[in-house]
Amino acid sequence: MSNFTGADLIANALAQLGIEHVFGIVSIHNMPLMDAINRLGETKIIGVRHEQAGTHAADGYARATGKLGVMIASTGPGTSNTVTGLYEAQYGSSRVLVITGQAETAFYGRGVGYVHEAENQVAMLRSVCRRVESPRHVNQLGPCLQTLVTDLFTGRPAPGALEIPIDLQYAEASKMDFSYPQKNQAQPDSSQLDSAVKRILESKKRIIVAGGGVIAAEASEALQQLARKLDCPVLTTVDGRGVIAEDDPLCVGNYYNSAGIYNAIQTADVTIAIGTRFAVGVDGQFQEQTPPGDLIQIDIDGTMIGRTHTAQFPVLADAGIALTAINIALADVVANDGQFNQSIWEARDGVRSAMRNRLGDDWPKVMDSIRAKLPDDAVFVRDQTISAYNWGNQQFPIYKPRTSINPTSGAIGPGFPMSIGAAIATGRKTVIVHGDGGFMFHATELATAAQYRVPLVICLFNDSGYGVLRWLQSNRFGRINETDLGKVAFAGMARSMGVPGQRVASVVEFEAAFDEAMAATGPYLIDIDMEHFAPMEISVMPKKKNEVDLSR
């Protein structure tokens, strides 16, 4: 093929944008794209086994690096499979781009049963994307892609999609240049900034609540500088973990919603919240946890400011730009009240100790073993599972930005493919903590991990069912319904797809298996039979207000 085609235009764009990997499944409606990418040789295609998993992998890729995660799918059934992954990316403010095919323009919209016909595909994608583009002429293809890239990297990170009719992929195209937008677009209003600085100067008891927006803005160092300038406790959201090392004396961690911590911060006169929307959680149980004192809320998305809690001092800005400006303005500032800080440190240490004690005899040893053997910059991924709720999301120490990933939407199952994407993106050893129920959603991606020798340690906590839901059902209804799944031989399953693995039934066996997994050059699965470990006290969420106890 001598002509420069629409498919070549996309391949060149990916290379110009510095995208080293894309995920995809080949189809009649994206074969030209795949061929062009491989001919150019600048971007490697990771062939996944399901489009949902591939989109989650692109999400993990984006979160671990801050780069654009790309999934290439086919029109119709292939694209519909990406929707769940795009939903998670939208919920987690992640830059994921789905590129998909479409029926050729002569048949698009005619409803004549063209193979993989998807007349409402754009509308479907718009339900989970901030922007979707669908060119109708090859000359529109490049500008549509550039518009998407500019949108996804402007303001709050978000997913997007580009559908390309198959004839445009084959059509002769003109070359063009692609680039990312300038980063310094969200400049704060000077009056908003001045008001926030004035309030900080007047205060003596401040806390910082840092969310994923700080990491997205690459503003962790600026946040740490502010915390040290104010001698101020830093609480994080689950997506904000890593903005400050969790062994730093100023770090409280992901405990804002803990009753012990929340009570300790009540005398604060200012809460400085950066890059968080104060998610209300399951049943809305955190909505009433109003930030203490006056709320200074800094966010790049104005629709998030004041949405959950009234912000007395709103600052619409990129977190990095705002924090840098605040740090400069606070040249002479009195540090936090020492007694106030001490009460928070005592509450933090007490909560951490109490939560650790609830883990029983075995699980703290498992957690400590993983942390001791894992480098500080290794990525630690969790799915929605008992081990994540009870220690992975809070007690397992995180030291650096972009090394902590979890499904923000609360979905079961994305963890495994997200960890594949993160491991491929970084090239570093990655650990995924997973439950057996959620793992079955994407277990076939073991073949992907084996094929590409992904440096991944899969810690599969096996309680033969949906453990979180089983606990909730028992707690709320006094019985369980469809949450027992039977015990699967996951190590055998893994080996059948080329991934070495073993089942362990004690802490000693786990530690030996983890050493073997860390020494492996590719993926390794550890099937942890929870039946043989000392039980942990499960504490996921309280009963809803006015909920009838049906257990009697």
CATH number of the domain that 88 lies in? 3.40.50.970
* Ordered strands of the 251-253 beta sheet: 251-253, 234-236, 206-210, 270-274, 294-299, 313-316
> Structural domain tally of the chain?
3
Please report whether residue 539 resides in a domain: no
Buried b (16+ CB within 10 A) or exposed e, 338-349: eebbebbeebbe
Long-range CB pairs of 39-43, under 8 A, 24+ apart, other chains included: 39/8, 39/11, 40/8, 40/11, 40/12, 40/15, 42/11, 42/14, 42/15, 43/11, 43/14, 43/15, 43/19
374 with 432, same domain: the answer is yes
Please report whether residue 502 resides in a domain: yes
* 253-257, 378-382, 469-473: least confident range: 469-473
Of 179, 178, 133, 168, give the one whose Cα is nearest residue 5: 168
| pLDDT tens figures, 176-220 | 999 999 876 668 889 999 999 999 999 999 999 999 999 999 999
The CB density around residue 174, as the number of other CB atoms within 10 Å, is 10
Please report whether residue 370 resides in a domain: yes
pLDDT of 552 over the 50 cut? no
| pLDDT tens figures, 493-504 | 999 999 999 999
366 with 296, same domain: the answer is no
| pLDDT tens figures, 306-338 | 888 989 999 999 999 999 999 999 988 999 999
Would you say 207 and 265 are in contact if contact means Cβ atoms under 8 Å apart?
yes
376 with 482, same domain: the answer is yes
| pLDDT tens figures, 358-401 | 999 999 999 999 999 999 999 999 999 889 988 999 999 999 99
The whole-angstrom separation of Cα 196 and Cα 188 is 11
| pLDDT tens figures, 27-74 | 999 999 999 999 999 999 999 999 999 999 999 999 999 999 999 999
Q: Mark which of 344, 367, 387 sits at the end of a domain.
A: 344
Band of residue 1 on the pLDDT scale cut at 50, 70, 90:
very low
366 with 515, same domain: the answer is yes
92 with 141, same domain: the answer is yes
322 with 247, same domain: the answer is yes
157 with 201, same domain: the answer is no
**Domain carrying residue 407:** 358-532
Give the tokens for residue 126: 């718009």
